[in-house]
Structure 1
Amino acid sequence: MIVTCSKCQTRLQLDEAKIPAIPFNVRCPKCSHANNVQPLAGNSASPLNNTKSATDTITEDASPLARARLEHAASAPVFRAEASDKNSTAKQESVINAEDVVRLLSALLQRGAATAGAGEGESSFFGRSWEQRRALVCVAPAHKETVARALSESRYEVFVAADTAQAIKRMREDQMSVLVLDPEFDQIEQGAAFINREIAQLRPVERRRLFIVQLSPTARTDDAHAAFVNHVNLMVNTKDAAEMSSVLERAVRDFGELYRDFNKALAASST
């Protein structure tokens, strides 16, 4: 339920499951004004029967024009690198000499030996090793290109959402492996809040298959405590967005190792 402060016009989101059946007051955290709230009709019924999706809530609160736009919004599109960038990369690769090739092959062999055991953990998180890894990018426009390109270079199928409706529709259509979320995403529609609400409605098995990364201008990259406080799997500072692929791969492997035995036990119990 969305309540607008009558004094400062701040929009407050209330948990419908905790709303009483009688009128009550809500104090605005911004201006401390007490707002009288009338409960919705039938609010005393079971919260499970009144649960609404994020897109439903957005649609109800929007104007008729915005409601029509949200109902017919497309899903988040796939990110495509520009052809000029590909040509630039090809030119850079053409100048690599034989010594560079040998050095690169040696580094790859060493990396493969060091991560041989970790690969099982990663595949247990993403499912089958041959399945396409999907990533949904829900960040402010200033970071979209950087984050999408970093994920694309790590062989993810990247979807970039322009607004909240696109993000939620894509989450419902496809099982995402990674979600990159910025608190400043679609602030007009409170995008981060509605996406977090959509995540909270996932079944436990679906939530364990979704690795959530949060961008932050203040938090330290790979800060485990900040990730725990914000209910995400990984924190990435916006300054490190271009190099987030290496941090993400390591964090995903660790996450897969953590749940590997648990997922095996669930698979065994279901057979």
Structure 2
Amino acid sequence: MIIRCDNCSVSLQLDEAKVPSGNFTVRCPRCQNMLRANKDANGDVSPTVKQLADNKPAPATPDGSAQFAEKASEFEINSALRSLLAALQSGKELLDKDEDVAAKPRRVLLCLGQKREEIAKILADAGYRVYIADTPAQANERLRDGKTEIVIFSPDFAAEYGGAAIIQQKANAMYSSERRRLYLVSIEDDGTTMNAHDAFLRNLNLIVNSGDIAQLPLILNRALSDYNDLYHYLNQGLGVEPI
């Protein structure tokens, strides 16, 4: 029997004779995630192909797609014009690419419970491209595309799968170079918005109190601006774009 970890995507081959009938759990040897699987009384199992089909990347919301496309197009045109102007200004320093970083169209992955529809609409209206995950597996598949650098999660995300713990575990297991490219935001009822000390201790980038979500675009823009300023010269040296 072959099952696939919905956190790190490793495939595990189990001895069919030792697999109990019905529901059972097994720990992934790579990431220590608890996997839930099923074998019915007839010995039928869910094939790996079916699991791959079920674990599709988190889909994008239809809201805000037009605004995002318009913002992305405008950003690309402005970037091209800035590059052309810089090329024409011989003998002068190149224009700073980070000057218009606030206008950069961004993709955000939501791993939320009760407040996900509200937050999705707020961010879509603000020009973000919003993806919504129902399970940790969908979140993991969406992050594979490498274009989604902002993850917003809450303690009630996919509680039956331990979703919030898996998201935090994934961030904790990243190499520092990978972790710098993932901006992790936690929405909490008891958290203090922009409490940098608490966020640092918990390997988060930003904490937002659920009472402040109406101002989430403003909070994100300011926090991301500070984050990109912090890593400005490192990003420049590595030749990577700011988040």
TM-score (normalizing by structure 2): 0.63
Mapping of residues 75-86 of structure 1, within 5 Å: 75-81=57-63
Q: Structure 1 or 2: larger helix share?
A: 1
Give 1:63's match in structure 2, choosing from 24, 33, 38: 38
Q: Distance in 2 between matches of 1:225 and 1:174?
A: 28
Q: Establish whether residue 72 from structure 1 lines up as the match of residue 47 from structure 2.
A: no
Give 2:233's match in structure 1, choosing from 261, 268, 271: 261
Deviates more, 1:243-252 or 1:175-184: 175-184
TM-score (normalizing by structure 1): 0.57
Q: Which amino acid aligns with 1:77?
A: P
Contact 1:137 1:161 in 2 (8 A): yes
Q: Identify the residue that residue 203 of structure 2 maps to in structure 1.
A: 231
Contact 1:121 1:255 in 2 (8 A): no
In the alignment, structure 2 segments of 5+ residues that lack a partner are: 1-26, 68-94
- Partner-residue secondary structure (3-state), 2:130: strand
Contact 1:181 1:214 in 2 (8 A): yes
Structure 1 residue 243, shift from structure 2 partner: 1.6
Large movers: runs of 4+ above 6 Å: none
Aligned length: 178
Mapping of residues 14-163 of structure 1, within 5 Å: 51-52=30-31, 57-58=33-34, 60-64=35-39, 70-73=51-54, 74-81=56-63, 120=98, 123=101, 132-140=105-113, 142-163=114-135
Q: Distance in 2 between matches of 1:70 and 1:201?
A: 24
Structure 1 residue 70, shift from structure 2 partner: 4.4
Q: Establish whether residue 176 from structure 1 lines up as the match of residue 148 from structure 2.
A: yes
Q: Distance in 1 between matches of 2:234 and 2:177?
A: 11
Structure 1 residue 67, shift from structure 2 partner: 5.8
Deviates more, 1:194-203 or 1:170-179: 194-203
Q: Distance in 2 between matches of 1:187 and 1:239?
A: 21
Change (3 A) 1:70 1:243: farther
Contact 2:185 2:207 in 1 (8 A): yes
Q: Distance in 2 between matches of 1:118 and 1:234?
A: 26
Q: Distance in 1 between matches of 2:172 and 2:153?
A: 14
Give 1:187's match in structure 2, choosing from 136, 159, 162: 159
Cα-to-partner distance string for 1:150-204 (whole Å, 9 max, x where unaligned): 2212321110111222111111234312110112211111011222222234343
In the alignment, structure 1 segments of 5+ residues that lack a partner are: 1-39, 41-49, 87-116
Structure 1 residue 119, shift from structure 2 partner: 7.6
Change (3 A) 1:119 1:218: farther
- Partner-residue secondary structure (3-state), 2:108: strand
Larger radius of gyration: 1
Structure 1 residue 63, shift from structure 2 partner: 2.5
The alignment's C-alpha RMSD in Å is: 3.3
